[in-house]
Structure 1
Amino acid sequence: MEIFKYMDKYDYEQLVICNDKASGLKAIIAIHDTTLGPALGGARMWTYDSEEEAIEDALRLARGMTYKNAAAGLNLGGGKAVIIGDPKKDKNDEMFRAFGRFIEGLNGRYITAEDVGTTEFDMDLINLETDYVTGVSAGAGSSGNPSPVTAYGIYLGMKAAAKEAFGTDSLKDKTIAVQGVGHVAYTLCEHLHAEGAKLIITDINEEAVQRAVNAFGAKAVGIGEIYSQEADIFAPCALGAIINDETIPQLKVKVIAGSANNQLKDAEHGDKLHEMGIVYAPDYVINSGGVINVADELDGYNRERAMKRVEGIYNALEKIFAISKEKNIPTHIAADHLAEERIARVAKTRSTFLQKEKSVLSRKNQQ
C-alpha cells in the first residue's frame, strides 16, 4: 500500500501509529478532515490479517466519518481509530489507558468513541487519561450505550424511505427483511414490531435469531436466503459490501434501509439500485443516530436535545431523495453532494476570514 499516494487521493490530514510495548497496544488513528471541527469517530478493535489491512481500514472508516458527520449537520470532522487484537482475549486496562494518552497527545484533533469490539468500560479507561472521549458510562455523566439511539434513527430513516417509495411512511403491514439481529437491529425490530410490520430475519448467531423469533413472531431464514425474500424493505444490519453483483439480482424489495456501514460494495452498485428504482437510504446518513447522540456529550449531554437532533435524520433523507430526483442521480451521490457542499461552505467561510486577517496584518506591516 502506497500510504501517501492513498492519502493524497482522498485528501487525508494525518495518520498516527500508536505502539505501547508494555500493554501490547498497537493502534492506528486516522484523521481525514477537520474543516467542520475536531475529528470524531469510534475506536474499533479487530483481528486484522495484516498491519496494512488495519491502516487501510482506519483510513477508509475515517473518510466515512467525515461524510457522516457533515451530512448529520454536526460541527465535527471525520476520524477513526483501530486497535489490532482480539477483543475477546487481548484486552487489558493498561492498553486502553495507553491509547488514551496517545489521544491526549493530539490535543483535541481527534475524539474517540465506542465501536466494534470496544465497550463503555473501555471508554471509561480511556477517559482516565483524556477528556477527548465520548460514550463513557452513563454513571460518569455521559449518554451510555449508543445502540438504542442508532436504532431509533434507523427506524425514522426507514420511514422516510418508505414515504419516498410507497407514498406513506407507515410501516404497518410492511414486510421487512432484516439481515442481522444484534444490539442495534434487535432494538430496530422492537420499533418495527410495535408499528405492526412483518419481520423476516437472519443472523449467524442462532441464539439471536431465536430471541427475535420469540419476541416478534419473526420468520427466520438462512444467511444466504435473506436477499431473495418477498419483502417491501431490506434492512442490512450486519456486514458491509452486501449490495453487490451477486445480491442485487436477487432483491425483490422497493427500499433498502439499514444500519450496516459501507453497504455498497462499489459506487456502481448504488447506480444499479437507482436504475432499478429501488430507494436506497445512504448508510452513513441513516445510521448516524449514534454519533449524533455521543456528539451531544461535547455540549454537556442532554438526552431530549440529542433525540431531537436524531429526528433530523428523517428530514436529511427527504432532502437527499429530493436532490436525487431533481438531478436524476443515485441517492448515494446525492448524499455525498450534500456533505461535500456543507464542508465547502465552511471551508470558504474560514478562507474568507483568513484572507481578511492576512490583509489586516499586511496593512499593519506597511505602516
Structure 2
Amino acid sequence: MRIFEEMAKYGHEQVHFLQHRGTGLKGIVAIHDTTLGPALGGCRMRPYETEEEALFDVLRLSRGMTYKCGVVDVDNGGGKAVLIGDPNQDKSPELFRVFGRYVQGLGGRFYTGTDMGTTPQDFVHAKRESSCFVGLPVEYGGSGNTAVPTALGVFEAIKATAMWLWGSTELTGRRFAVQGVGKVGALVVQHLVEAGGAVYVTDVSQPNLDAVVTATPGEQLLGVVGPEEIYGLDVDVFVPCALGAILNDETIYELRCAAVVGSANNQLLDMEKHGAMLAERGILYAPDYLANAGGLIQVADELQGYVPERVLAKTKAIYDMLLQVYAFSAEREIPTWLAADRLVEQRIEQVKDLKAVWVQKAR
C-alpha cells in the first residue's frame, strides 16, 4: 500500500504506527482532520489478517469520525486507533498502559476510548498513563456505556426514516433485519420491539443471539438467520450493526427493503459507487456516521464536563438532523451520503473562516 497516496486520497494529516515488544502491542493511530478541534475517535482491536487491512480500516474510520463530529456539531475532528490482535487472547493491562503512553505522546491531538473489541475497563489501565481517554466506567470518572446513546441515536434515525418514507414514526407492524446484536445491536432490537416492531436477527456470536432471543417476545422475533441470509429478507428496514463495508456489489442486489439505517461504521464499501446503487434501487440510506453518532456525542461531552441531559437532547436531535439531510438530498437531487458530506464540509469551511480571527492564547 502506498501510504502517502492513501493519506492524500482521504485527506489525512497524520498516521502513527505503534509497536512495543514487551507487551506485543501493534497498532495504528490515524488523525484525519483537526480543523474543528482535537481528533476524537475510538480504539478498535481486531485480529487483522494483514497490515494493509488494518491501515485501510483506520483510514476510513478516522475520516468518518471527522464527518461524524461535524454533523452533530461538536468541537472535535476525526481520528481513530486500531490495535492488531485477538481481543479474547492478546489483551493485558500492560498493553493498554503502553498504548496510553503512546497516546499521551501525541500531545492532546487525539482522544480515544472504546470501540469494537475493546471495553471501558481496558482504558482504565490506559488512563493511568494519559489524560486523553474518554468513555470510562462511571466509577472511574467516565460517562459510562456509550452503547446506550449509540443505540438511541440509531432508533431516532429509524423513526426519522419512517417519517420521511411513510409520514409517521409509528413502527408497530414494521419489519426489521438486524445484522449484529452485540452491545449496540441488542439495544437497537430492544428499542424496536418496545415500539411494536418485529425483527429478524443474525450474529456470528451464539451468546449474543441467545441473549437477544431470550429477551425478545416470541411474536416479535421473526427468526434467527445465518449471516448471509440477512440481506435477502423481505423487511421495511435493514439495520446493519456489525462490521463495515457490507453494502457492496453483491449484497446491494440482495436487499429487499425500503431503507438502510444502522450503527455499523463505513457501511458502503465505496461511497460513490454503492451509494448510487442504493439510490438506483430506490433504497433510502441513512448516512452511518449520523445514525450512529450517539456514542460520539456522549464522549465528546465528557471533554467539556459531562451533562447527561445535554447528551440525551443532542442524541434525540439526530432525528431532526437526518430529516434535514433527506430534505437537502431531495432538493439537490444528490445521494444522501453526499448530502450529509456537503453539510459537514460547509460547517468545516465556516469554522476555518471564523478561526481566521486571531486570539491571544491563555498562558
Give TM-score scaled by structure 2 length: 0.94
Q: What's the offset of the Cα at 1:21?
A: 2.3
Q: After the TM superposition, which residues 140-155 of structure 1 pair with which residues of structure 2 at under 5 Å, given as runs?
A: 140-155=140-155
Aligned counterpart for 2:328 among listed residues 305, 323, 327 = 323
Tell me how far apart the structure 2 counterparts of residues 15 and 43 of structure 1 sit (CA, whole Å).
14
Shift of residue 24 of structure 1? 2.1
Residue 231 (structure 1) shift: 1.2
8 A contact 1:274–1:329 mirrored in 2: no
2:290 aligned with 1:280: no
SS at match of 2:229: helix
Per-residue deviation at 1:340?
1.1
Task: For residue 291 of structure 1, report the CA deviation from its aligned partner.
Answer: 0.8
Question: Which residue matches 1:235?
Answer: 239
Aligned partners of 1:51 and 1:247: how far apart in 2?
26
Paired residue type of 1:223: P
In terms of fraction of residues, the more helix-rich structure is 1
SS of alignment partner, residue 253 of structure 1: coil
Tell me how far apart the structure 2 counterparts of residues 237 and 73 of structure 1 sit (CA, whole Å): 23
Question: What residue identity is the alignment partner of 1:313?
Answer: I
**Farther-moved stretch of structure 1 (39-48 vs 215-224):** 215-224
Shift of 1:245: 2.0
TM-score of the superposed pair, with normalisation by structure 1: 0.93
Deviation at 1:272? 1.8
CA shift digits 1:300-343 (9 cap, x unpaired): 21111111111111111011001110001110111111111111
2:259 alignment partner in structure 1: 255
Alpha-carbon distance in structure 1 between the residues aligned to 2:302 and 2:83: 23
Structure 2: which 5+ runs fail to align? none
Contact 1:153 1:310 in 2 (8 A): yes
Aligned residues: percent identity? 47
Structure 1, unmatched stretches of 5+, are 358-367
Residues 213-224 of structure 1 aligned to structure 2 (within 5 Å): 213-216=213-216, 217=218, 218=221, 219-224=223-228
Secondary structure of the residue that 1:177 maps to in structure 2?
Answer: strand
The alignment covers a number of residue pairs equal to 355
Q: Distance in 2 between matches of 1:29 and 1:206?
A: 32
One-letter identity of the residue aligned with 2:291: I
CA RMSD of aligned residues (A): 1.6
The aligned amino acid for 1:166 is W
1:19 deviates by 2.1
Residues 1:10 and 1:251: Cα distance change in structure 2 (over 3 Å): closer
State the 1:82 CA deviation.
1.1
1:132 counterpart residue number: 132
| CA shift for structure 1 position 94 | 1.4
CA separation of 1:223/1:84 partners in 2, compared to 1, >3 Å: closer, same or farther?
A: closer
The residue aligned with 2:20 is 20
Residue 292 of structure 1: aligned partner: 297
CA contact (8 A) 1:178 1:234 kept: yes
Amino acid at match of 1:225: E
Contact 1:164 1:279 in 2 (8 A): no
Aligned to 1:365: none
Q: Deviations over 1:214-269 (max 9, x none)?
A: 32221222222222212111111122222222222222211111111111122211
Larger Rg belongs to: 1
Displacement, 1:112? 0.8
User: C-alpha separation between the residues in 2 aligned to 1:317 and 1:83?
Assistant: 32
Misfit runs of 4+, over 3 Å: none
SS of 2:19's equivalent in the other structure is: strand
Is the Cα contact below 8 Å between 2:60 and 2:266 reproduced in 1? no
1:327 counterpart letter in structure 2: R
Cα distance change on mapping 1:65 and 1:138 into 2, 3 Å: same
Q: CA deviation at 1:174?
A: 0.7
